[in-house]
Structure 1
Amino acid sequence: MSRVLRVNVGVLRLIAFFIHLLNTPLGDRLWKGAIVVMDNLKVHYAERVRLSIESVGAKVKFLPPYSPDLSPIELCWSKL
């Protein structure tokens, strides 16, 4: 189930929401050895987010700072 945030939230609130997702539906889908690939949104680098992911034995990998070849939206716009 996808969730849409329609309000402007602070970084701490966004981190809390992300950790909540890790402890509920997303957390159920992670396993030891899973790899979570994230972009370079500043909140993704929060230590609490990384620790929550790693607490189930999953690993965190980040995309390069600017990687149009790995970004679906960049691929879409390149076709226009």
Structure 2
Amino acid sequence: IGKTLLTISLFIANITADIFYAWVTQDLLPKLLPACVIVMDNATFHKRLDIQTTIANAGHTLEYLPPYSPDLNDIEPKWAQAKAIRKREGCSIEQLFAAYEI
């Protein structure tokens, strides 16, 4: 799949392990090819055991970025790009997501 962004969702809430688990099982895993490597940062909700087990049981490998490594996190430039568009266009996050049909 390369560096293709497979899925993105907008949540108007603080993300919890329960919300993240639902997203992984209902949105991410069904879209992956077999035997993918999933790279995550060290957010606490990424490390819950049932999330790790679900990913492994689906045949994927889970790797974590080293702490304090935004330069290795491919999503960071995308967030910067989204924030720049939002600032330039003077729109809300909801309007930005709607414009890109997310």
> How does the TM-score come out when normalised to structure 2?
0.56
8 Å contact kept, 2:38–2:63 = yes
Counterpart-to-counterpart distance in 2, 1:63 and 1:57: 20
Counterpart-to-counterpart distance in 2, 1:2 and 1:41: 17
Which segments of 5 or more consecutive residues in structure 2 lack a partner in the other structure?
Answer: 1-6, 81-102
> Partner of 1:25: helix, strand, or coil?
helix
Q: Which residue matches 2:43?
A: 41
> How does the TM-score come out when normalised to structure 1?
0.69
Deviation at 1:31, TM superposition (A): 4.1
Dislocated runs of 4+, deviation >3 Å: none
Deviation at 1:49, TM superposition (A): 0.9
Task: Write the letter of the residue equivalent to 1:56.
Answer: A
Trace 1:1-80 onto structure 2 (pairs within 5 A). Answer: 2-8=8-14, 14-71=16-73, 72-73=76-77
Q: What is the percent sequence identity of the aligned residues?
A: 27
More helix by share: 2
8 Å contact kept, 2:34–2:60 = yes
Deviation at 1:66, TM superposition (A): 1.1
